[in-house]
Amino acid sequence: MLHLGGNTVVPTKDLVAILSLDTAKPGTATREFLQLVHDEGFVQRIAEIGKEKSFVITRERIYLSPISAITLAKRASEFKYTLSDAEA
């Protein structure tokens, strides 16, 4: 499980991508994608408006998180590493 902020936790097996809004937002395709998924109702805002640092794409939703993409990626990889150790 990966904690995205607030009370939101998602299964790591459902992760598709963890992206930084700082580096991804300027691109036109990214803006269009985020607008489209927002309009379709797939976006769940965890962060307060203006405090979003990353967006996390899962199999079913897209989350706007107040936690940086780097931190989330580290958490996800630490979980996978710990899980692998437990299976050994």
pLDDT at 25: 61
Length of the chain: 88
Tell me how far apart the alpha carbons of residues 49 and 60 are, in angstroms, rounded to a whole number: 22
pLDDT at 80: 55
What percentage of the chain exceeds 70 in pLDDT? Answer: 85
pTM higher than 0.85, yes or no? no
Positive or negative torsion for Cα 28, 23, 3, 51: negative
Do 73 and 12 touch, CB atoms closer than 8 A? Answer: no
- pLDDT band at residue 79 under the 50/70/90 scheme: low
SS3 51: coil
- DSSP type of residue 15: E
**Confidence check: pLDDT of 81 > 70:** no
For residue range 33-75, list pLDDT tens digits in order.
Answer: 888 999 999 999 999 999 999 999 999 999 999 999 999 999 8
